[in-house]
Structure 1
Amino acid sequence: MSNRRNAVLLALAGAALMLISVTMTWVTAEQLGETASVQSIEVPGSQASDIVTAMGLVALAGALTLTIARRAGRWIIALLLSAAAAAALFDTLHAVADPASAAAVAVGEATGLTTTAGSYELGAGPWLGVAGAVLVLLGALLVLLFSHRWTDKRSSKKYSRTASVDDAEPDEFDLWDGLSQGEDPTEERQQ
């Protein structure tokens, strides 16, 4: 579970869950009062939280960048992923703890007043957002704990003629990069 592929997949899955969560219903507000044109509204995550969408995009970009980053870059990306996950986690848990606050703007638009609804019910959206943020955080943790062990054949071949031969197996990303540079990944194994 400590290789680059797993860290990237965790962060990608988490980012996807965060982005999917904002399309789902986070809060259903009911009993809006006599001034409202409807008595029940569903508040999607995109309206309940701007932060989760933004942090989902940050996590998606970070996970994709992680595939090509070198040692120092991986640490920076891991810190950014951690910050994005923490911000999204805080915001989704705030919506879970205070659904009235998360739905306040939508309720105000429906009623034309600053009053609150009679009742609030949580949907699956914030829970999916929490799960996504936790996955991104786990991916960042893998990067912080294990990225120093990941091979980086590209840097040793390109920039150092005196670099020692690395006995570790290259990961899938290194093999694909080698293919795009015209290298045969089976060449070393045939000798």
Structure 2
Amino acid sequence: MNLSGRRGLATTAVACAVGAALVLLAATRSWQSLETIQPAPLPPLKVERTGTEIAPWLPALGVVALAGAGALLATRAAARLAVGILLVVAGAGVTVASLVTLDDDVRVAWPLLCVLGGLVVLAAGVVTVRVGRSWPGMGARYEAPARRRPGQTDLWDALDRGEDPTTGDRPE
């Protein structure tokens, strides 16, 4: 699959956003059900723990990955390389954090969905590092205006000075 050009940028950004969404979704679901025996006549106390409670850094890494998906579209060259490295770190962090939480008491489905999301973010980061420099940047209309040529009069500055820029009259 050719991941250069606009199509590669769009595919990678969408994949990164989907991976981040998977992480954010799975981290908020119940991963563990704990039951505490209480003295009679009280019933057992049941507590549901989410992935966020077990591994609090998962939502933060998911948000970083989601922001990285947007940053892929807004950056270019060295900044895009830095975003790619950040996505690799975030994806690896999600994957490791999710795998570490697996034990006998944890429901396996949600942590594995987090692992899948982390691997997608990691792959998007690797693709960005490898071919991100060949992707186009945003159009020139989104960049800061170029320096003005000497002698060029800005219409708003002329109005601020009290001039009528349509007639060329100067105030007395």
Same fold flag (TM > 0.5): yes
1:7 corresponds in structure 2 to: 12
String of CA shifts for 1:62-112, please: whole Å, max 9, x gaps. 11111110111110001111111111111110001x35xxxxxxxxxxxxx
Aligned counterpart in structure 1 of residue 121 of structure 2, from 126, 136, 140 = 136
String of CA shifts for 1:29-62, please: whole Å, max 9, x gaps. 34x3335853543211121111101000100111
2:32 corresponds in structure 1 to: 27
Task: Determine the C-alpha separation between the residues in 1 that align with 2:56 and 2:125.
Answer: 22
* 1:116-131 matched pairs, under 5 angstroms: 120-131=105-116
The SS at the match of 1:122 is: coil
Say if 2:59 is the partner of 1:53: yes
AA aligned opposite 1:122: R
Question: Following TM superposition, by how much is the alpha carbon of 1:149 offset from its aligned partner in structure 2, in angstroms?
Answer: 2.1
AA aligned opposite 2:74: I
Task: Determine the C-alpha separation between the residues in 1 that align with 2:93 and 2:138.
Answer: 34
AA aligned opposite 2:37: G
Task: Determine the C-alpha separation between the residues in 1 that align with 2:133 and 2:74.
Answer: 14
Say if 2:130 is the partner of 1:145: yes
Task: Determine the C-alpha separation between the residues in 2 that align with 1:48 and 1:77.
Answer: 27
AA aligned opposite 2:133: H
- Give the length in aligned residue pairs: 135
Say if 2:94 is the partner of 1:88: yes
Structure 2: runs of 5+ lacking an equivalent: 145-172
**Percent identity for Structure 1 against Structure 2:** 27
1:73 corresponds in structure 2 to: 79
TM-score normalised by the chain length of structure 1: 0.63
Question: Following TM superposition, by how much is the alpha carbon of 1:153 offset from its aligned partner in structure 2, in angstroms?
Answer: 7.1
The SS at the match of 1:67 is: helix
Task: Determine the C-alpha separation between the residues in 2 that align with 1:138 and 1:125.
Answer: 20
The SS at the match of 2:48 is: strand
Task: Determine the C-alpha separation between the residues in 2 that align with 1:60 and 1:154.
Answer: 22
String of CA shifts for 1:91-143, please: whole Å, max 9, x gaps. 110001x35xxxxxxxxxxxxxxxxxxxx241422111111101101111111
Q: Is the 8 A contact 1:6 1:139 kept in 2?
A: no
Quick check: which has more Rg, 1 or 2? 2
String of CA shifts for 1:161-187, please: whole Å, max 9, x gaps. xxxxxxxxxxxxxxxxxxxxxxxxxxx
AA aligned opposite 2:33: T
